[in-house]
Amino acid sequence: MNEFMIPPDHVNFLAKKLFGNSGKIKDVSIAYLQKEGGGPTEPHTHFHDHLFIVTSGEAKINYGKEIIILKKDESFLVKGTVSHSVWNNIDEETVMVGISVEK
């Protein structure tokens, strides 16, 4: 679902599903990426996954051999076993929520 909608029995309330069930939540963080900020400097891997959600700005995820661009109100599930790093993709601050997910 890519569009905002009004849930049943709600007023002046717009919602957008960013992702469905993808495992058990390990932890949740919020990150403020300044201009040219991000990391890690060398892409890494690990056993848990990350669900990244951009709340403002724009992020670039180096994901294996791909580059994923996330804009405000977009999300992407990073498989931890795929080499990855995340960077601010604009000249202003980008704010992201990162949810670590155990399989």
Give this prediction's pTM: 0.85
pLDDT, residue 103, reads: 78
User: Average pLDDT of 4-23?
Assistant: 85
HSE-CB for 13 with a 13 A CA cutoff: 6
User: Token pair for residue 78?
Assistant: 């990073």
Q: Which CATH architecture has domain 24-102?
A: Sandwich (2.60)
Q: Which of 55, 41, 43 is nearest to 80 (CA)?
A: 43
Task: Give the contacts of 9 (CB within 8 A, at least 6 positions apart).
Answer: none
User: pLDDT tens for residues 30-69?
Assistant: 999 999 999 999 999 999 999 999 999 999 999 999 999 9
User: Average pLDDT of 4-8?
Assistant: 89
